[in-house]
Chain A
């Protein structure tokens, strides 16, 4: 008997049951413009304030530090470029780790195209960023809480300490809801669909005292940090999901950590010529990445899908750019035959076992086809 499983939670976690009812109710009652002065508007305003408060509590910040955005990516762009704008008089230099999410890399390119300077911090074989910063004044340091492709937790607090006066932007999209977040950052970005909230909701968190300036054209709405009509039902459902994930986080993390340990150990034993990458211990609980020598990543993903397992891959042949993952490249690990497995909250041992049972023969079959 074979099982099947969606093993791509790091791309998107299915809607948390706690968010579903909230979303339905909020869609019905949260339609009005929260900045108007009538009853339905007050309902929407209350829902939005409530969502902000819940998210703030879960992230350990103040409600007025939280701004909902249309995506995690947009929150990253606002966070990186807004902090740089606030530091424009001090330094135009942005330092970011070599394994940041593409949204940070693209924000850096935007900054460079407008006269800014960008420096990359190298990472070790496990994908952990160097804590040594370049000499001279810096405008901003950007470092993720944890890596989205290999799960390695980054030394945010050490880098923040090394940065001193220079603010640190933390992309927490992969980590929020999964692990407790570190301190020391001036602004952070999170993404709701990664923790079981709906897509189309991110949040930018700017700490009190951080110098942030709107880097894009704005509008006349209430929150100066974002633009456009607020997605009130989405924000409230995102908050409900985060609250539920935070409440169950320690139990879930322990269970998922053990399942991922099992995957790391068994893959290394049952699949020849495989490289399990990222930190074995200091990592996100639900995510593991490995690369199989001589295997075409696209063929691997397709065959696993045919057998009922949905996984992601950082191999070049699976990317729209046809370039290998810049994360794997910066770590100096094999980029082809790459598979990222990430567990949703309800994936159980039976499903993990079923995946581990089919993987060796799938890899062997692809290698045999290549004549190996």
Chain B
């Protein structure tokens, strides 16, 4: 069974960061989780909604979907595939 969208192994707090900073954070840290585990990018920047899935496509990772943090900030969830 696959883990739920909210079951991430690493959380990247990118609140207040402007594009492309959240994607740079994701690129720097996604290898800190095991293959198959999830990374959560918490970002206020609206460009992240498009750029996280686009990064996944370009870097052959899996975009799992969008969730929401306790304070209402969008969370973009990525599964490390390689």
Interface residues of A (CB under 8 A from B): 273, 275, 291, 293-297, 315-317, 323-324, 328-329, 332-337, 370-372
C-alpha gap A293/B60 in the complex (Å): 14
Across the interface, B23 reaches (CB within 8 A) one of A317, A324, A328, A336, namely A336
Contact B47 A372 (CB under 8 A): no
Contact A332 B58 (CB under 8 A): no
Known: A315-B19, A335-B19. 11 other contacts (CB 8 A): A275-B54, A293-B27, A317-B18, A323-B46, A324-B47, A324-B51, A328-B50, A335-B54, A336-B23, A370-B20, A371-B24
Scoring A291, A296, A316, A370 by chain B CB atoms within 10 A of each residue's CB, the highest score goes to A316
Contact A324 B50 (CB under 8 A): yes
Given contacts A316-B46, A335-B47, A336-B47, contact A296 B54 (CB under 8 A): no
**B18 cross-chain contacts in A, Cβ below 8 A:** 316-317
C-alpha gap A116/B52 in the complex (Å): 34
Q: Mark B64-78, 1 if CB is under 8 A from A, else 0.
A: 000000000000000
Interface residues of B (CB under 8 A from A): 18-20, 23-24, 27, 45-47, 49-51, 53-55, 58
**B54 cross-chain contacts in A, Cβ below 8 A:** 275, 291, 332-335
Q: List 6 A-B contacts (CB under 8 A).
A: A294-B20, A294-B27, A329-B50, A335-B19, A337-B20, A372-B24
Residues of A contacting B: mostly? loop
Across the interface, A332 reaches (CB within 8 A) one of B20, B46, B47, B50, namely B50
Contact A336 B46 (CB under 8 A): no
Contact A334 B50 (CB under 8 A): yes
Contact A335 B27 (CB under 8 A): no
C-alpha gap A332/B63 in the complex (Å): 12
Contact A335 B58 (CB under 8 A): no
Contact B55 A293 (CB under 8 A): yes
Given contacts A316-B46, A335-B50, contact A293 B23 (CB under 8 A): yes
Given contacts A316-B46, A372-B24, contact A324 B58 (CB under 8 A): no
Contact B20 A296 (CB under 8 A): yes
Across the interface, B51 reaches (CB within 8 A) one of A317, A323, A336, A372, namely A336
**A316 cross-chain contacts in B, Cβ below 8 A:** 18-19, 45-47
